[in-house]
Amino acid sequence: MVSFLYPFKKLLKKGLGPRGSRGPESDGANRPGPLPRSLDDTLRIVKEALGGSPDLVIRRISMMINRRPHQTAIVYIDGLADPKELLESLLADSGDMQANLKSAGDVEPLRLIRQYLLKVGQVNGVSDLGTLYHAILSGDTCILLDGASEAIAAGTGSAKDRNITEPASQAVLRGPREGFAETLRTNTALIRRKIKNPNLWMETRRIGDVTKTDVAIMYIKGIVNDKTVNEVRQRLDRIRIDSILESGYIEELIQDETYTPFPTIFNTERPDAVAGGLLEGRIAILVDGTPFVLVVPALFTHFLQTPEDYYQRADISSFLRILRYVCLFIALFGPAAYIAVTTFHQEMIPTPLLLSVIAAREGIPFPAFVEAFLMEITFEILREAGVRMPRTVGQAVSIVGALVIGQSAVEAGLVGPAMVIVVSITAISNFVIPSYNMGISIRMIRFPFMILAATFGLYGILIGSIVMVLHLCSLRSFGVPYMAPFAPFIVEDQKDNIFRLPRWAMVTRPRYSSDGNPVREKERPPGKPGR
């Protein structure tokens, strides 16, 4: 379906450079290098590197250490750091502090400050300029001593964080009403609150030559497939780009296939969804500055499932999943099927209904394809306008606009009432799909199917379906077949696919993701569950 893009693949790579190509090199002031021993030289370099920014605060003090005065500088960014506690520790002139300094003997000044003076929790050593810049711009307060080739970075970050609220893009019917925030440490803490296990490992790295964005990967050791973890590490380490502002940057740079309308990486802002994925042997990728967390590998079935499926009874969850699959087919083939039947296959319509459709279409100057195309474009415009407008008026404008435009189009004789009904049901069915990314993909693919239906009828829909299925079966998500457990067909994983079996019957994890620990619950002895 998207094979026409492949001839341009080499041209795109040639013009845009390799995936995640590195931007222009930084100037000399920002290049990493050893920390100068002279305090004046270090402060001058820091001021030049930051362009003399007014929010750069430098407090110079003289400290008596080992009976000798030492010129010291405290450097931080106003608004990012809260050095109040640290300043109180350094500037305190109490008898206890003096006793500690005398009992320490002849010790290096930096070591003495770290062991006896600082009261903050996180204290790290800094030995080069690159680490110094990152510490300052991350909200740490750095302590510099004249004559020392190393500095101290104390964790004093005080960046204001958004309160933990209910996810805005994913409605919560039953379950925790908490969503991720924009701070990396807040998001990792939300996951650790749900999985209190020492095997929940986390690795961090900085990506982006300019932004130096913190990116973390989380997985459960002993459950996750080690090959998948290594693949995630390699793809992240291959990224060479100047900025990472949102997890969408990472998603586009590490996805398996670019030329496909289907998403191969799952994103969510619900901690319970991420925790559920980790317990199945999947990997979470968290990016500082965004509430959307990536989960890999992501399969086609994951985009039609919600965390509420596991909070309700199995029969209710199975019914809702079947309803989603039905709505998926309606959203994909609804207008195309109507176009094909009314244009080429009128014999498939019952005679009374056919007469009603013909009477309703009398006087309409456009064929069925043009009707459907006009109505679909109109609904897409209204939907996008409703998203971009203020929330107080966006929903009202989209609903009222759809009603007014639909009724006016019918009264003006531009489209038939049946077409308005078909397009409306199609639009409503699209909202049933839980994943926003998958919903957009279905909306995009709907138009090629409409063209095939207007050209070849049901045969065109059949050909397009075959091509789409072949394309889906060729996709991979970090080495895992995208259509698993449908293709390849895995009998053991059908217990949590279209149907969800009762909790006591889901004793094993999915085979495609878990490696060393496939059993999630010991099998119960024969008899009724819970006894």
Q: Are residues 289 and 338 in the same domain?
A: no
Same domain, 367 and 455: yes
Average pLDDT value for residue range 435-462: 93
Same domain, 341 and 463: yes
Q: Which domain holds residue 408?
A: 324-481
- Indicate if 292 and 328 belong to the same structural domain: no
Show the DSSP H helices in 367-457 as ranges. Answer: 368-388, 391-411, 417-432, 436-456
- Identify the pLDDT of residue 463: 94
Is residue 256 located within the same domain as residue 388?
A: no
Tally Cβ neighbours within 10 Å of residue 345: 13
Number of domains in the chain: 3
Residue 208: CB atoms within 10 Å = 18
30-34, 180-184, 328-332, 413-417: least confident range: 30-34
Is residue 348 domain-shared with residue 267, that is, in the same domain?
no
Work out the pLDDT band at 23, boundaries 50, 70, 90. Answer: very low
Residue 461 has pLDDT above 90, yes or no: yes
State how far the Cα of 521 lies from the Cα of 509, in Å rounded to an integer: 9
- State the Cα–Cα distance between residues 141 and 47, nearest whole angstrom: 15
Q: Is residue 18 part of a domain?
A: no
Please say if the pLDDT value at position 323 is more than 80. Answer: yes
**pLDDT value of residue 396:** 60
* Whether residue 366 sits in one domain with residue 465: yes
Would you say residue 309 lies in a domain?
no
- The mean per-residue pLDDT over the stretch 294-303 comes to 92
The string of pLDDT tens digits covering residues 173-189 is 888 888 898 888 889 98
Max alpha carbon distance in the chain (Å)? Answer: 105
Provide DSSP, 4-62. Answer: GGGGGHHHHHHHH-STT---SPP-GGGS--BPPS-HHHHHHHHHHHTTT-TTEEEEEEE
Q: Has residue 191 been placed in a domain?
A: yes
Q: Residue 345: inside a domain, yes or no?
A: yes
Per-residue pLDDT band for 395 (boundaries 50, 70, 90) equals low
Quick one: 144 and 188 in the same domain?
no
Mean pLDDT of the chain: 81
| Type of residue numbered 254 | I
pLDDT at 483 over 80: yes
pLDDT per position as a tens digit, 492-512: 888 888 888 888 888 878 877
- 373 and 424 both lie in a single domain: yes
Express each pLDDT in 69-119 by its tens digit.
778 888 888 878 877 777 777 766 444 455 555 555 555 777 777 776 777
Q: Which residues contact 310 (CB under 8 A, 6 or more apart)?
A: 276, 317, 500, 503
Q: What is the pLDDT of residue 10?
A: 47
pTM of the predicted structure, to 2 decimals = 0.81
Do 35 and 149 have their domain in common? Answer: yes
Last residue of a domain, one of 281, 298, 315: 298
Are 329 and 414 in a shared domain?
yes
Q: Is residue 53 a part of any domain in this protein?
A: yes
* Separation between Cα atoms, residue 373 and residue 335, nearest integer Å: 9
Instruction: Quote the pLDDT of residue 31.
Output: 53
Examine the domain organization and report whether 335 and 435 are in the same domain: yes
Whether residue 55 is predicted with pLDDT greater than 90 in this model: the reply is no
Q: Is residue 369 part of a domain?
A: yes
144 domain-assigned: yes
Report helix, strand or coil for 438: helix
Query: Would residue 20 count as lying in a domain?
Result: no
Mean pLDDT of 398-415: 71
